[in-house]
Structure 1
């Protein structure tokens, strides 16, 4: 089994989201393969017109071994996907959107059927989205909602969500808020 951890915790070891992710990932000790994609270290660029043209040319040639498709192949092959992303500007850090732009490749992550329906090709049985928030999101975590849509597009049948909220509210018991998230993680099978 391959677990793919997409680390969008750009603050590194200072990140409370990363702390929760590491605790969650500890449940996979003994799993054959846990792969981490550290988006801060990866330094991906958004696609320019030239990059899109080059990738499209390689898609038409079915040159799937080209390095431009490596992230998409990795994502599509994972059995379980964990996304760790702090709540920023109503969603997540921009590096995560750029990563999905690199992953979202027709004929690797999804394709279109003869009757023009989008059909996912990803192997993952679930995607777990872990986040932390300085305030209280109150049901408006558009980052999580985005990943619900991406999972549908890529054919991932289950999406789960864990959040520690209110962590920057003056006077709040931060550890109690983190413990609520830990309890939610424990309940995930």
Structure 2
């Protein structure tokens, strides 16, 4: 009679996703020092992209601020949204999270660790979502309209008062000139 294999001694099956991630890390470490640095950059950005999956899965579907993806141009980038992206540093091992602004590019975070960049991206996403909520909040949208109504009324009264005072001044000057004795 054959015995059933002991389940405690069987190796736990490794998920394919975890194995692929580990293979990418190993390949990135090997190629990071070798000639093909661009492939190492893309591999590291893919690893970071995978690490960001839980964050982007939490974002509600109706929020369309973020469009994450890797562009594989001359300088590979992991785009978070239209103005922020992660690029590899000069040593091809350091992540650099940057944001393009009207005044140029600013570095939001730099680290050799993907976890630190995930935290920085999480903070950035949270700030962007709060900005969006504030921009679309009904109380904020109605406040300027309510404050503007008294101003419009006061502008009309200011104009009317200025008009009446100007007309009275002209009438006064005309009356003064007409009452002056004519001298030859």
Q: Specify the TM-score bucket, using the shorter chain as the normaliser.
A: under 0.3
Bigger relative contact order, structure 1 or 2 (CA pairs below 8 A, ≥6 apart)? 1
Give the strand-richer structure, 1 or 2.
1
Q: Highest CA radius of gyration, 1 or 2?
A: 2
